[in-house]
Amino acid sequence: MNSLTTYLIISALLFSLGLLGILQRRNLIGMLISVELLLNAANLNFMAYNRFVSPDPVTGQVITLFVMGLAAAEAAIGLSIILALYRKMHSINIEAAQKMKG
């Protein structure tokens, strides 16, 4: 079943799971994990398109590499924010962080 549609459906499934995690987890680290899932789903899409339809065999790989780099940066920043937040509020529950309420 090596076809583009298979990969697309798999990545959609991963993405939906990540979305579900982001929407209902209250643990900030859990949300971060879900974000990683989302990014990977997108990466998988890029690679699949690169393999099946792209005219240039390199672009998709390069984009995937870049997204990985960005994910590393995002993880570093996100984790340090979580740490800072934990020191401040002694909790990493997202529902506790409501200081910006309008």
Partner 1 sequence: MENSGLNFILQAAFWGTVALTVAGAAIAIFPKNILYNVLGLALALTGIAGFYLFLGSLFVALMQLLIYVGAICIAIVFAIMLSRPLHIEAPARPTGKVLLGILASVVFFVGAVGVALKTKWTPAAGHVYKASQWSVEHVGDALLTRYELVFEVISLVLLVAIIGAVITAGFSRRISS
Partner 2 sequence: MGALFRDPVLFATVLGTNLPFLSMAVILLFTRSKPFVSSRISVCSIAVSAVCAVSLLVRLFSAPALQYQTLWFSSDKLNITFGYYLDPLSLLMLTIVGIIACLVQIYSLGYMAGDPGYSRYYAFQSLFAWAMMNMVIAGSMLQLFIFWEMVGLASYFLIGFYYEKWSASQAGKKAFVMNRVGDVGFFLGLILLLIAFGNLGIPELNHAAVTHGLPQGLLTVSSLLIFCGVIGKSAQFPLLTWLPDAMEGPTPVSALLHSATMVAAGVYMFSRIFPFFSASPDTMAVALAIGTVTMLLSSTMAMVTYDLKQVWAYSTVSQLGYMVMALASGGYVAGVFHLTTHAGFKALLFLTSGIFIHEFHTNDMRIIGKKGGRKLKIPMVCMAIGALALSGVFPFSGFFSKEAILTVLASQPSKIWYAAGLFGAVLTAYYSFRLIFHILLPKGGIEEAHHEEHGASSHEHEEGHHGYIFWTMAVPVMILAGVSLVLGFTEHTLEHFLMRSIQVPGELVAPAAHAVSVAAHVAAGGAHHAHEAGSPLLTILGVSAGLLGIAIAWFEYGRKGASRNGFLSYFPAIWKLFDCRWFLDIFYRKGLDTLVYAGLTSLFTKNDRRVIDGGIDGICVFTEGSGRLFSFLQSGMLQFNLLLMVLGAGAAVLYFVI
* Nearest approach, Cβ of residue 1 and partner 2 (Å): 23
Nearest to 30 by CA among 96, 93, 77, 74: 93
Interacting residue with partner 1 among 29, 94, 97, 100 (CB under 8 A): 29
* Residue 1 binds partner 2, judged by CB under 8 A: no
* Residue 42 binds partner 1, judged by CB under 8 A: no
The whole-angstrom separation of Cα 52 and Cα 3 is 8
* Residue 33 binds partner 2, judged by CB under 8 A: no
Cβ closest to partner 2, residue 59 vs residue 80 = 80
Sequence-distant (≥ 6) Cβ neighbours of residue 102 within 8 angstroms? none
* Other Cβ atoms closer than 10 A to 28: 20
Interacting residue with partner 1 among 55, 100, 101, 102 (CB under 8 A): 55
Cβ closest to partner 1, residue 95 vs residue 101 = 95
Q: Would you state the structure tokens that stand for residue 15, as one six-digit string?
A: 């993405």
Interface pattern 61-80 for partner 1 (x via CB under 8 A): xx-xxx-xxxxxxxxxx-xx
Nearest to 9 by CA among 35, 36, 48: 48
